[in-house]
Amino acid sequence: MDLIENIMFLNAIIFEKLKSVFNQLNKESGRYFLTFSPITTSFNNQDFNFLDNTDTNHQISDKYENQMAFAHLANAIVKNQKIYELNAESFLQENYKKIFDQAKLIEGSLSENDKQKYRNAKAVLYQEDGETKSIKFENYSKFKAKYESLTKDLLILNDNLMANPNDTESLSKKAELEFLQNKAFNDWIVDGDKDGIENAIKIVSNISERSVFVSQWNQEYLKLRADLSKVSTIGSNIEFLPVTCLPNDIYKYEYAGWKKVVLEENEISNLELSAKSSLSESLYNVYNSTNVAYSKIEFEYIFVTLLRNWFKPNLINSRFWNLTDPQVVSDENDINKGLLPAYIEKFVFVRRINAYNKSTSAQDSPIVTEEKIPQTYIFKNLVRNRKKMDVVQPQVLRISKVKLMSQNKLIAKPLIRKVELAETSRTGTQVKPNLHQTLIPTKILLQGGIINLGQQKTKFNLTLTFKDVVGNLLVDINILLKKNESGVIYSTETDNNGKVVFNDLDKGSYTISIQREELYNDFASDINVDADITKSFTIEKRSNPFFDMILMGAVNYRFPNLPNPLEDYTYS
């Protein structure tokens, strides 16, 4: 299996684990479902700078466009039960406004019949001042409180019996409580006039809620039209409504809310079986993992709750409105049907993925970045491409967020990998030493000794050591060595002594570089190899460290059948 299939199916395994985590935390999740993102979308924490009100280092336009790109991802209309679709056909703010445009509201003014119902119900519940409870309502409340107290005591006793089911004293007490509970319920019905009082409460609440609903709906509609008319991306005419999130300090490198997961071999096997069954057959065939097996997978994850102060799902989930034509907002039997069948409530991100391959054989075949690295959306390009063509096109992200390791990582020496640059073959131009805009290296660490680099004439060895400014050795840092004449790049990682060794190099000019390490600045240095060389470099730490993360999927809420108007009422 090639690298793209390894990484993508690895993502599917991780997603299955995250589904189980979410379902354990949300027992009552009948309307919630998770969708998997098969096309990797890459963020780093600094892309969330729009959450930082103290940040003065970035231009307003940069933060604004980051927010627009995030809103683009978050406001996609969900019409797939399994897959998160990056290129949605429609967006939440558009269809949400269509609902308001086409809605007919329940008559806010009351008919004489409604007014009389309201007066009669109020008379049942309250005395003449309209605030003091009536004697009937007081009795109802007393019997209700007694029943609820006995029910609570019974629940506590049942919990105790779960731990000791043969406790005769508790069993006797349970029988007594159940008798008292049944008696209290009957007393509530007869002496507390349960049905009569609750019917009066329903009438008063319904009529009061109708008036409140109509007022709130009209206010939200005015606000929605005003917001959409003035909010657009700087430098474009794309309308969007902003989305923020909790936690709102995810942009901080030191944020401690990420949770680490370690999957061992048995659990990985079970998750793989689950992924096979949950993915569609066509999708699974793309990511078939028959040629790879993992002994361990490590990663960190976080669920991010999306906040939209302009979106009121409870408002459209009301029964006080209808549509002007037969179309629907949602259909419980068909997620593809309707203006707004479901919406995204949370995103789930992962970072720092380490996957341990059970195979210990070294793989020294070249990696052609354009072919082997998964086609991926770079977060910031969402904005740029929307501005150009109003359609987001995939961008190839030349980095694997996954570090593939041998089973015996601690005793393995770094494996030097040859990386052929797609830019060279496509444009015929050399990549400059500062590569972080055009090339981000693939980190790969597999068991094996130093690999001889091809069949060229080899003459010299290059030994490099990397330290920080206070002398600490830089361990597990990806080092690139580019041969300037050919544009070929070799990649390996520093060992426990902060060292890398490139054997049998041809004579010539090379560029050594470090790119996109979380804690250390990008670095590049030219070196002329005409003899064996041993050299040490000092690398400065970043003043603003960053980390990369992957959008793994979304948590979605599915609406019931809408609209679902109350019968026997007028809508206009």
Domains of the chain, with CATH numbers?
3-105+237-354+551-558 (no CATH), 112-216 (no CATH), 358-549 (2.60.40.10)
What's the pLDDT score for residue 557? 94
What's the pLDDT score for residue 395? 34
User: 510: exposed, middle or buried (C-beta count within 10 Å: 0-12, 13-18, 19+)?
Assistant: buried
What's the pLDDT score for residue 231? 59
Nearest to 33 by CA among 83, 88, 108: 83
What's the pLDDT score for residue 230? 61
- Residues in CB range of 262: below 8 A, 6 or more apart: 296, 297, 298
At 125, the amino acid letter reads L
Per-residue pLDDT of 482-514, as tens digits, reads 999 998 888 888 999 999 999 989 999 999 999
**Cα 418 to Cα 440: distance, rounded to the nearest angstrom:** 14
Q: Are 403 and 445 in contact (CB under 8 A)?
A: yes
Count of positions (residues) in the chain: 572
Q: Are 294 and 529 in contact (CB under 8 A)?
A: no
Give the pair of three-digit tokens for residue 126: 């309250």
**Cα 477 to Cα 479: distance, rounded to the nearest angstrom:** 6
**What residues does 466 pair with on adjacent strands?**
537
What's the pLDDT score for residue 226? 82
Q: DSSP readout, 291-353?
A: T--EEEEEEEEEEEEEE-TT--HHHHTSSSEEESSS--SB-TT-TTSSS-SEEEEEEEEEEEE
Q: Where in 414-477 does DSSP place strands (E)?
A: 417-420, 442-444, 460-468
Q: Where in 414-483 does DSSP place strands (E)?
A: 417-420, 442-444, 460-468, 478-483
**Cα 15 to Cα 275: distance, rounded to the nearest angstrom:** 8
Grouping H, G, I as helix, E, B as strand and the rest as coil, residue 539 is strand
Nearest to 200 by CA among 134, 125, 145: 125
User: 45: exposed, middle or buried (C-beta count within 10 Å: 0-12, 13-18, 19+)?
Assistant: buried
What's the pLDDT score for residue 292? 64
Residue indicated by tokens 């019968």:
567
What's the pLDDT score for residue 293? 76
- Residues in CB range of 516: below 8 A, 6 or more apart: 399, 436, 440, 441, 522, 548
What's the pLDDT score for residue 359? 62
Alpha-helical segments (H) within 437-482: none
**What residues does 74 pair with on adjacent strands?**
none
Query: From first to last of its 572 residues, what are the pLDDT tens digits of the chain?
Result: 444 445 567 888 999 999 999 988 776 567 899 999 887 778 888 889 889 888 666 567 778 888 888 988 999 999 889 888 876 778 898 999 999 999 998 876 666 777 777 788 888 888 888 788 888 999 999 999 999 999 888 888 887 777 777 888 888 888 899 999 999 999 999 999 999 988 888 877 777 778 788 888 999 999 888 877 665 555 555 567 889 999 999 999 999 999 999 999 999 999 988 888 887 655 655 555 445 678 889 999 999 999 999 999 999 999 889 998 888 999 998 999 999 999 999 999 999 888 887 764 434 433 333 333 334 445 555 444 443 333 333 333 333 334 544 443 333 334 455 544 333 322 333 333 333 333 333 333 333 333 444 444 568 999 999 999 999 999 989 899 999 999 888 888 899 999 999 998 999 999 999 988 899 999 999 999 999 999 999 999 998 888 888 999 999 999 999 999 988 778 88
**What residues does 473 pair with on adjacent strands?**
467
**Cα 377 to Cα 86: distance, rounded to the nearest angstrom:** 9
Give the pair of three-digit tokens for residue 11: 């993502």
Per-residue pLDDT of 43-66, as tens digits, reads 888 889 889 888 666 567 778 888
Backbone angles phi, psi at 236, to 5 degrees: -150, 175
**Cα 353 to Cα 347: distance, rounded to the nearest angstrom:** 18
What's the pLDDT score for residue 556? 95
**Cα 78 to Cα 82: distance, rounded to the nearest angstrom:** 10
Alpha-helical segments (H) within 231-300: 265-278, 281-286
User: 41: exposed, middle or buried (C-beta count within 10 Å: 0-12, 13-18, 19+)?
Assistant: buried
**Cα 269 to Cα 294: distance, rounded to the nearest angstrom:** 8
Nearest to 320 by CA among 559, 98, 118, 107: 107
What's the pLDDT score for residue 282? 57
User: 552: exposed, middle or buried (C-beta count within 10 Å: 0-12, 13-18, 19+)?
Assistant: buried
Give the pair of three-digit tokens for residue 259: 């949770």
CA dihedral 92, 94, 96, 102 (to 10 degrees): -160
User: At CA 568, angle to CA 563 and CA 569, rounded to 5?
Assistant: 70
User: 78: exposed, middle or buried (C-beta count within 10 Å: 0-12, 13-18, 19+)?
Assistant: buried
Grouping H, G, I as helix, E, B as strand and the rest as coil, residue 23 is helix
What's the pLDDT score for residue 83? 87
**Cα 11 to Cα 275: distance, rounded to the nearest angstrom:** 10
User: 336: exposed, middle or buried (C-beta count within 10 Å: 0-12, 13-18, 19+)?
Assistant: exposed
Cα radius of gyration rounded to whole Å, the chain: 31
